[in-house]
Structure 1
Amino acid sequence: MAVQAIVSFWGLSLLLVLTPGADWAYVIGAGLAQRTVLPAVAGLLAGHLALTGAVAAGIAALVASSPATLTALTAVGAAYLIWLGSIGLARPAGAAPGPGAGPGSGAWLRQAVKGAGTSGLNPKALLLFLTLLPRFTDPTGGWPVGGQILVLGAVHVACCGVVYLAVGTGARRLLSAHPGWTRTVSRISGAAMVAIGAGLLLGQFAF
């Protein structure tokens, strides 16, 4: 596997990660509601790692070849995004908690699980991994294709980690200086997740 292929993939991956979507909306919401975004980001990264493993194992290709399975996955993922967004709309975050208001381990685990669901159940992410990762592999390069996919997936996850930490932390710091904006931005993040989920459903079931 050529280094040039890894660098080319990194550039494309970074552009994709910098595009706002459900992951951005979730991590911004976590930045508003929690003292730290680390649990939320860790959950998002775990979801991307799970998708990488699925592609490396060939499971994603089987899912993509089954319309019924893909439809069910789309419905579950979209419903999950709509549910999370609805919570943000119904209970928008107030001012970001101070340094001494950190959540317990149970709250951290819930944030991580929600993050993993947000990224891991996103059908768009699954299809992206399915179509993008194999294109940068080289079956004649001496490495197993599955191993090459894992390396590329690790590069993508590293990009996600840096960008999501910056987005979540930046949102929290900005809104700590302007607490009046917090509920508005929280509602916008929730609405974005609802819109993304609804768009997935409409795109899948539109005739």
Structure 2
Amino acid sequence: MIAQETLLTFAVAAFVMVAIPGPTVLFTIGRAMALGRMGGFLSILGTAIGSIVLVMAVALGVGTVIAQSIVLFMIVKVLGAGYLIFLGIQAIRHRKGAARTMATAPAKRSGWRLLTEGFVVGITNPKSIAFFLAILPQFVDLESGSVPAQLFLLGAIVVTIGVTCDAVWVLLASAARDWFGRSPRRIEAMGATGGGLMIALGAFLLVWGEKPATA
């Protein structure tokens, strides 16, 4: 398998990349602010499952096909960005209803729905696709056993680091949510802010210039 020194170097590089706020972080903050701590954690779990699917796709070679096809990459990019914008618009539209509900009790949403929403964001994140395809192969040793197994191990490290960092963001965002929750106006502003973050993120992904390498 991969040498320990290589794994350590990769872990440090992955932490630096993941710790910098990006699409998943902004999505997580928006969900935690709008739905609370549990909503944020369920969203993290959903995005993590989506990321694991991406890792498996890369490890098995399917991700390479997407990376070499600008058309397929753009489809994934537009779908992911569009879904985020949709969620953001919904959060803004229903902010007054959320304020009334949260004034007496925490917002309630289906756990499966939160998982599904997070999964869609995680699996359609073009930045994650590009990162897994561009970075993971550089740390693979062709003489150290199964390449798919090495790719999966490296990807699992990235996902683990990502979940840990996102959990910290959820705790911070949910703490801010509690402060906002003392006033209906603050709650409305919170819902609008969370929705705005997701809309801004979706718009960013639509205009993001990075594309996969072509054959």
Q: TM-score range by the shorter chain?
A: 0.7 to 0.9
**How has the CA–CA distance of structure 1 residues 201 and 178 changed in structure 2, closer, same or farther, with 3 Å as cutoff?**
closer
Whole-Å separation in 2 of the counterparts to 1:136 and 1:96: 49
User: Any gaps of 5 or more consecutive residues in structure 1?
Assistant: none
Q: Is the 8 A contact 1:55 1:129 kept in 2?
A: yes
Match of 1:66 in 2: 69
Whole-Å separation in 1 of the counterparts to 2:174 and 2:12: 27
Identity of aligned residues (%): 25
Quick one: which of 36, 41, 51 aligns to 1:38?
41
Whole-Å separation in 1 of the counterparts to 2:169 and 2:41: 12
User: Any gaps of 5 or more consecutive residues in structure 2?
Assistant: 210-215
The answer to which of 69-78 and 186-195 deviates more is 186-195
The aligned length equals 201
Q: Is the 8 A contact 2:77 2:125 kept in 1?
A: yes
What is the CA-CA distance between 1:178 and the residue it aligns to? 4.0
The residue identity in structure 2 corresponding to 1:193 is: M
Match of 2:133 in 1: 130
The answer to which of 67-76 and 89-98 deviates more is 89-98
Whole-Å separation in 2 of the counterparts to 1:78 and 1:67: 16
User: Normalising to structure 1: TM-score of the pair?
Assistant: 0.85
C-alpha RMSD of the superposition? 2.5
The residue identity in structure 2 corresponding to 1:140 is: E
The residue identity in structure 2 corresponding to 1:110 is: R
Whole-Å separation in 2 of the counterparts to 1:187 and 1:17: 26
Match of 2:206 in 1: 201
1:32-86 C-alpha deviation (Å, 9 max, x unpaired)? 3145133211101101101100110111111111122112222212211211222
Match of 2:213 in 1: none
Q: Does 1:50 align with 2:53?
A: yes
The residue identity in structure 2 corresponding to 1:175 is: R
Q: Is the 8 A contact 2:37 2:170 kept in 1?
A: no
Quick one: which of 153, 156, 160 aligns to 1:154?
156
The residue identity in structure 2 corresponding to 1:9 is: F
Quick one: which of 180, 185, 194 aligns to 1:189?
194
User: Normalising to structure 2: TM-score of the pair?
Assistant: 0.82
